[in-house]
């Protein structure tokens, strides 16, 4: 499933081709996505895309009158292609642009979304209750510390809750907790502010590194399958259950926590 870094890489990849372009036509071949594509999406036709932004794992195509909200779901991707490009299976939506190109949403599982909202998109129910962006000044150790007081929830589930901070998906929660030396099952309310400072710093670093890794293939967004590179070379724990810890050499443990695979080092994480 694309997580925040992959979505940010997608945003960076498509933004240069979309910004300043007029939406000439929107072709919806399959409206049955995670949420039905609204007929009102056609109101975006004739509008200029002023900015391409991201909020959590949503990509926002902002115009003067409203915004198209895109979500990649579990298997979706966005590609910039020339008009008239052959349609493949699972190519569900084309946003045709005034520069002779189109933005195509490809989504085999149809868990993605293409929605239209007038006015400020932040007021849309999907965005209104989201927590702070992790790579901004709004996300601090004070934020996590205050929200965690009295919470018995495991810290891994706590930082994966979008109400506390957005975009810390399973891969990046595993990696951030390992770098911070914090056991994923430790109760969020039992962690000191000093340790939340360490965790906050590592969340920012891990996500920034993942975006950088994905960014190395931005030039390919108009070629091949359009998929960006993912953060795999630097994974220390995720997907490595049973293998030696990169710090102490002991075997990494793997458990299920909140129905998600959780890998950690019992020696290094407390």
Identified catalytic residue from 11, 54, 57, 195: 57
Cα angle 180, 185, 186; round to 5: 70
Annotated binding site: 90, 109, 151
The answer for residues whose C-beta is within 8 angstroms of residue 69's C-beta and 6 or more apart is 58, 59, 60, 113, 114, 115, 116, 117, 121, 124, 126, 127
Would you call 38 a catalytic residue per the annotation?
no
Identified catalytic residue from 2, 5, 134, 228: 2
Would you call 260 a catalytic residue per the annotation?
yes
Identified catalytic residue from 3, 8, 96, 175: 3
Q: Is the dihedral of CA 206, 208, 209, 211 positive or negative?
A: positive
Cα angle 54, 56, 60; round to 5: 30
d(Cα 32, Cα 261) in Å, to the nearest integer?
30
d(Cα 119, Cα 193) in Å, to the nearest integer?
38
Annotated binding site for DNA: 90, 109, 151
The catalytic residues are 2-3, 57, 260
């Amino acid at each position: 499933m694309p997580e925040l870094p992959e979505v940010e890489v997608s945003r960076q990849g498509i933004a240069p081709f979309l910004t300043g372009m007029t939406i000439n036509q929107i072709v919806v071949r399959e409206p049955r996505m995670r949420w039905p594509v609204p007929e009102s999406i056609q109101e975006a036709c004739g509008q200029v895309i002023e900015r391409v932004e991201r909020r959590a794992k949503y990509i926002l195509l902002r115009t003067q009158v409203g915004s198209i909200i895109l979500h990649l779901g579990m298997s979706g991707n966005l590609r910039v292609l020339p008009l008239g490009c052959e349609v493949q299976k699972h190519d569900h939506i084309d946003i045709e642009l005034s520069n002779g190109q189109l933005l195509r949403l490809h989504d085999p599982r149809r868990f993605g979304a293409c929605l239209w909202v007038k006015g400020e998109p932040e007021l849309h129910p999907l965005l209104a209750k989201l927590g702070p962006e992790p790579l901004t000044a709004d996300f601090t150790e004070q934020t996590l510390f205050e929200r965690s007081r009295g919470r018995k929830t495991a810290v891994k589930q706590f930082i994966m809750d979008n109400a506390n901070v957005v975009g810390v998906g399973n891969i990046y929660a595993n990696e951030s907790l390992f770098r911070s030396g914090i056991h994923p099952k430790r109760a969020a309310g039992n962690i000191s502010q000093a340790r939340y400072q360490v965790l906050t710093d590592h969340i920012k670093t891990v996500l920034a590194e993942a975006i950088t890794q994905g960014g190395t293939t931005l030039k390919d967004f108009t070629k091949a399958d359009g998929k960006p590179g993912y953060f795999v070379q630097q994974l220390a724990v995720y997907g490595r259950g049973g293998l030696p810890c990169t710090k102490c050499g002991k075997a990494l443990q793997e458990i299920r926590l909140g129905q998600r695979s959780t890998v950690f080092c019992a020696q290094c994480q407390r």
